[in-house]
Amino acid sequence: MTDIDNGNAGTRAQGAPRREPDRWFRPSTIIAIAQLLGTSLWFSANSAAADLAKAWNVTAADIGWLTSAVQAGFITGTLIMALFGLADRYAASRIFALSAVVGALFNACFALIAQGLPEALVYRFFVGLSLAGIYPLGMKLIVSWEPSRTGVALAHLVAMLTLGTALPHLLRELGADLPWQSIVLASSALAVIGSILIYTLGDGPFLPGRDRRRDYGKRPSAAGSGVLAAFKVRGFRAAAWGYFGHMWELYAFWTVVPVLVARTGLSVLFPALGVPGISFAIIAAGALGCVTGGMLTRRYDSAAVALGALFISGLAGGIFALFWQVLPPAATLALMLVWGAAVVADSPQFSALSARSCPPDLVGSALAIQNSIGFAITVVSIALTAALLERVGLDAVWILVPGPVVGLLGFLLTARKRRTGPVSG
């Protein structure tokens, strides 16, 4: 057994009963649906990009700043969660439910009160702050309910995150004649429904974390070294390297998908779908990629699936950057669908590896700090990509390729330093 897979994710809190919930759906299904609804807040502003450009006279780079404001809020929130141990001191379901309601409120303020970019940036920051209580806590809820299926269950969870990210584009397509505010408010309504689902479900019986008086075998966290103790575990560091490289590419890609679709003429090829419809299809392909990756973990280990997806997404980005000017529209669409499927398929597997590797009483905080660093990286990559798009056009896609390269090398070099057995998913 290696550091990368030491079985911690399957640890049950001492005294916690072994029980199977008597429900219509598996808990992971309920959590995944709630994640879909809650994370629709994330890119609700991007679905209104064209309308905002006209109403507020803003550029594509300004829309990128709206996304960066959400990322900055998310980073702040996850840092607070990690440094104060909130994700492991309080019930994850309550934090998730409260965060979804608060996020819905600030998203509604963005739609109804903001009169320009400065106000919008503030409201979008607080939306991101609220999302810090949704995404990492959703992962902890998965581990607390179904630790034996972490790789598969997290794959479904991130699939729903991906659909949630794409959902505003679908809402914009379906409500093409509606004011942009209605589309944004629809995301708020969906987030409230997600809050109700998680509040009703509650926390699972697995994993310690609420009773800090227990020693838990004198693990590093119990000795007072805090959440950063997780980075002392080689397996956690390896998974973090892969995750950070993946994050450099992922959110910048999602942010610029509508621009790539518009400037490659794909909307002309499929006029019935338009830019929002094609953007939804490309981003939503990631949900299929996540589910496929989860299925593959039943035969291959999580590390192999994650590294394979990271390699494919980096390769797709490189091919697009090299040949976008000469590829026919149909080939461009096929390439972007593959890219969209692979670019997020590695995320749940890296998170599963991280959850298995870190001390069990630090799962929530460790995932939060990993998310915080990862999303700090996205702020830089989004800003660089948006700025370069304005200057050099679609050749700016080259800026995304180093992420997968660094992630692959970082994981492999860290993991191979001490590898005594198979890495399982």
The pLDDT of residue 106 is: 96
The verdict on pTM exceeding 0.85 is no
pLDDT at 122: 94
Q: Which two tokens stand for residue 284?
A: 């939503």
Please state, in angstroms and rounded to a whole number, the distance separating the CA atoms of residues 97 and 101. Answer: 7
Mean pLDDT to the nearest integer, 228-253? 88
Residue 417: HSE in the Cβ half-sphere, 13 Å Cα cutoff: 13
Q: Which of 206, 34, 169, 189 is nearest to 105 (CA)?
A: 189
Measured CA distances, 174 to 111, 169, 170, 300, 365 (Å): 18, 9, 6, 39, 39
Q: Which pLDDT band holds residue 417 (cuts at 50, 70, 90)?
A: low
Q: Find all residues with CB under 8 Å of 127, minimum gap 6, and list them.
A: 41, 42, 44, 70, 73, 103, 106, 107, 110
> Is residue 345 predicted with pLDDT exceeding 80?
yes
Nearest CA among 363, 155, 54, 387 for reference residue 252: 387
Q: Using 50, 70 and 90 to split pLDDT, how confident is the model at 408?
A: very high
Window from 136-140, 164-168, 316-320 with minimum mean pLDDT: 164-168
| Backbone φ and ψ of 398, nearest 5° | -55, -30
CA distances from residue 248 to 309, 375, 385 in whole angstroms, order as listed: 14, 8, 10
For the chain, give the percent of residues with pLDDT over 90: 31
Position with higher pLDDT, 276 vs 239: 239
Lowest mean pLDDT across 69-83, 121-135, 357-371, 410-424: 410-424
pLDDT at 215 over 50: no
| Per-residue model confidence (pLDDT) at position 386 | 84
pLDDT for 175:
63
Sign of CA dihedral 422, 343, 68, 180: negative
When comparing pLDDT for 113 and 229, which is higher? 113
- Confidence band, pLDDT 50/70/90 cuts, at residue 309: very high
Spell 353-370 as b/e; 16+ CB within 10 A means b. Answer: bbbbbbbbbbbbbbbbbb
Closest Cα partner for 350 from 401, 314, 304? 304
Report residue 44: phi and psi, to 5°: -60, -30
In which band, very low, low, confident or very high, does the pLDDT at 9 lie, cut at 50, 70 and 90?
Answer: very low
Structural domain 3-11+23-208+226-418, CATH architecture: Up-down Bundle (1.20)
Domain boundaries, the chain: 3-11+23-208+226-418
pLDDT of residue 213: 38
* Residue 81's pLDDT band (cuts 50, 70, 90): confident
Mean pLDDT, rounded, for 327-340: 92
Question: Of 378 and 249, which is predicted with more confidence?
Answer: 249
Q: Where are the beta strands (DSSP E) in 17-80?
A: none
Range with top average pLDDT, 49-53, 241-245, 391-395: 241-245
